[in-house]
Structure 1
Amino acid sequence: MPLRLPPLPALRFFEAAGRHQSFKLAAAELNVTPSAISHGIVGLEQALGVELFVREPRGISLTASGADYLSYVSEAFSLIAIGTQRLPNHRADRPIALSCAPTFASRWLLPRLAGFRARWPNVNVSVDTSHRQVGFPVDGFDFAIRLSRAPVAGTAWTRLFGERFVPVCSPAYLETLRDGHGNADLRRATLIHVNAASEDWQAWLDATGIEGFDTTGGLRVDTIQLAFEAAGMGLGVALGRRPLVDPDLDRGALVEADPATIASTTAYWLVSAENGDRRPELADFKRWLVSEAEHLETHADASGQTVRAAVS
């Protein structure tokens, strides 16, 4: 007797909603309406005779039964995805799908992709910079690049490089900070903050031991790219994140407002599913990306800069 399965579209809705803990985010991921997600899950609950979510005014959460069921459904979709990828010649020409932050993509990854394309001209790469969680291999991504203090269990993590923080501003703005002796006083500066950053001005101040700063005021933006652009426009001093800020420093659009440089407690990691580099082009891409990162860190170590370890 064949197994009786719940409707597969409803299971897909349930898996996405359970992973995001949100009907709205699940709808955005699957390109349907939140109402469709809600109705699909109600139908699934009726078919199973079990309540999968607790609906509250502030949002949804999985019931105990729902959390247990999600682990099975997620594993089932992962097995289907892995099995599909292992089929002979399955979409061998499909692009390498990579998820990463937009500032990382524009300032570090894209300038280097020409080198990859020169070596592997027949391998295409698709870069997604949307701010969303990635489930391997269910979401169809091969890799993600994430900023984290340490690897997370359940996926394969390879460290690429860490960031180094140094205050930066426009050359003209730096002149406005100089005192009668020609020394720049950052206490007179407008600090530019990045709301979403896990480490920002307070990390730099704690590590350098510099006091007398008011970190509650200043200009606040939601991306690192906007912080660099605001600093270049003379709106204040941003915390430069090397190597992402290096292009601006190299061309003189930004300058160091203070030479004190600290190492971040986080690093960029290349993330993939366990054994997710079976395809030859994926293994080639991973080796190339790791090699680029190693070259970057070797160059940084040889530059002779004084880098202080950040305080955890």
Structure 2
Amino acid sequence: MPLRLPPLPALRFFEAAGRHQSFKLAAAELNVTPSAISHGIVGLEEALGVELFVREPRGISLTAVGADYLSYVSEAFSLIAIGTQRLPNQRADRSVTLSCAPTFASRWLLPRLGSFRARWPNINVSVDTSRRQVGFPVDGFDFAIRMSRAPVAGTAWTRLFGERFVPVCSPAYLATLRDERGVPSLRRATLIHVNAASEDWQMWLDATGTDGIDTTGGLHVDTIQLAFEAASMGLGVALGRKPLVDGDLASGALVEACAPTIASTTAYWLVSTENADSAIRRPELADFRRWLVDEAAAFDAHADAAADGDLAAHR
């Protein structure tokens, strides 16, 4: 007797909604409407005879039964994805898919991607900067670049480099911060905050031993890119994150408002699925990983040398 399976499209809806804990985010990922997700899951619950989600005015959450079932469904989709990748000649094209933050993509990755394309012109690279969690290998991504203090179990993590923080503003705004001795003072500044950043002004102030500055006010934005743009427009002082701010400093759109430069406690990591034979079956993944790690190492070595030079200059 064949196995009795629930509706497979509804299972896909359930897996995405359970992973995101949101019908809206699941709908955006699968390119359907939230109503379609909701109706599909209602049908799945009726077919199974159990309640998978608790619906509340402020959102949804998995029931205990739903959380247990999600682990099986997610594993099943992972097995299907792995099996599909293992099919002979399944991928006539050679491609690499990567998920990363938009500011990192535009300010660090894309300027370097030309060297990869020049060396491997037949490997297509797809960069996704949408704000969503990535499930390996269910979501079809080969790699992700994430900020973290340490690796997370369940996937393969390779450290690329850390950020370095320094206050930045426009040249004209810097002139307004100088005291009677000509020394810039952050106490005169409007601080520009990034709401989603795990490390922001309070970290820099604590690390430098700077006190007497109110971090509750100022201008609040939701992306690093907006913070840099606001600073270049003279709206205040942003916490510059090297290497993301390097282009603005080189062009003169932004200048360092004060010293010193502080190393972050988090770092950029290259994340991928733990699959030992993927490099054998898809050598383009090994090529991309090796190129990206080499690029990061070269950048990190240059950044360390520059940081040592800055430290010596401020002694």
TM-score by length of 2: 0.95
1:306 CA displacement:
5.5
Deviation digits for residues 254-299 of structure 1 (CA, Å, limit 9, x no counterpart): 1111121111111111111112743100110011001111111111
Equivalent residues of 2:94, 2:122 under 8 A apart? no
What SS is found at the alignment partner of 1:214? coil
Where does 1:262-277 land on structure 2 (aligned, <5 Å)?
262-275=262-275, 277=278
Q: Distance in 2 between matches of 1:51 and 1:179?
A: 65
Q: Distance in 2 between matches of 1:66 and 1:305?
A: 56
What SS is found at the alignment partner of 2:26? helix
Find out whether 1:151 has 2:154 as its counterpart: no
1:92 CA displacement:
3.7
Equivalent residues of 2:20, 2:26 under 8 A apart? yes
Q: Distance in 2 between matches of 1:158 and 1:181?
A: 47
Measured at CA, do residues 92 and 305 of structure 1 come closer, stay the same or move farther in structure 2, by a change above 3 Å? farther
Where does 1:29-40 land on structure 2 (aligned, <5 Å)?
29-40=29-40
Q: Which residue in 1 is equivalent to 2:187?
A: 187
Q: Distance in 2 between matches of 1:38 and 1:270?
A: 34
Q: Which residue in 1 is equivalent to 2:293?
A: 290
What SS is found at the alignment partner of 2:141? coil
Find out whether 1:69 has 2:69 as its counterpart: yes
Q: Which amino acid aligns with 2:286?
A: A
What SS is found at the alignment partner of 1:302? helix
Q: Which residue in 1 is equivalent to 2:79?
A: 79
What SS is found at the alignment partner of 1:95? strand
Q: Distance in 2 between matches of 1:305 and 1:193?
A: 28
Q: Distance in 2 between matches of 1:187 and 1:35?
A: 50
Q: Structure 2: give runs of 5+ residues left out of the alignment.
A: none
Q: Which residue in 2 is equivalent to 1:310?
A: none
What SS is found at the alignment partner of 1:285? helix
Q: Which residue in 2 is equivalent to 1:113?
A: 113
What SS is found at the alignment partner of 2:230? helix
1:179 CA displacement:
1.3
Measured at CA, do residues 158 and 174 of structure 1 come closer, stay the same or move farther in structure 2, by a change above 3 Å? same
Q: Which residue in 2 is equivalent to 1:56?
A: 56
Q: Which residue in 2 is equivalent to 1:98?
A: 98
Aligned with 1:281 (options 279, 284, 301):
284
Q: Percent identity?
A: 85
1:21 CA displacement:
0.9
- Count of aligned residue pairs for this structure pair: 307
Deviation digits for residues 153-199 of structure 1 (CA, Å, limit 9, x no counterpart): 11111111100000011111111111121111111011111111111
Q: Distance in 2 between matches of 1:305 and 1:79?
A: 51
1:233 CA displacement:
1.2
Q: Distance in 1 between matches of 2:188 and 2:123?
A: 51
Q: Which residue in 1 is equivalent to 2:25?
A: 25
Deviation digits for residues 79-126 of structure 1 (CA, Å, limit 9, x no counterpart): 000110111121141531111111000000000000000110111111
Deviates more, 1:52-61 or 1:272-281: 272-281
Q: Which residue in 1 is equivalent to 2:303?
A: 300
What SS is found at the alignment partner of 1:127? strand
**Aligned-residue CA RMSD in angstroms?**
1.2
Deviation >2 Å, runs of 4+: none
Deviates more, 1:108-117 or 1:175-184: 175-184
Deviates more, 1:240-249 or 1:276-285: 276-285
Q: Which residue in 2 is equivalent to 1:206?
A: 206
Measured at CA, do residues 207 and 296 of structure 1 come closer, stay the same or move farther in structure 2, by a change above 3 Å? same
What SS is found at the alignment partner of 1:5? coil
Q: Structure 1: give runs of 5+ residues left out of the alignment.
A: 308-312
Q: Which residue in 1 is equivalent to 2:122?
A: 122
What SS is found at the alignment partner of 2:164? strand
Q: Which amino acid aligns with 1:218?
A: G
Q: Distance in 1 between matches of 2:56 and 2:254?
A: 48
1:36 CA displacement:
1.1
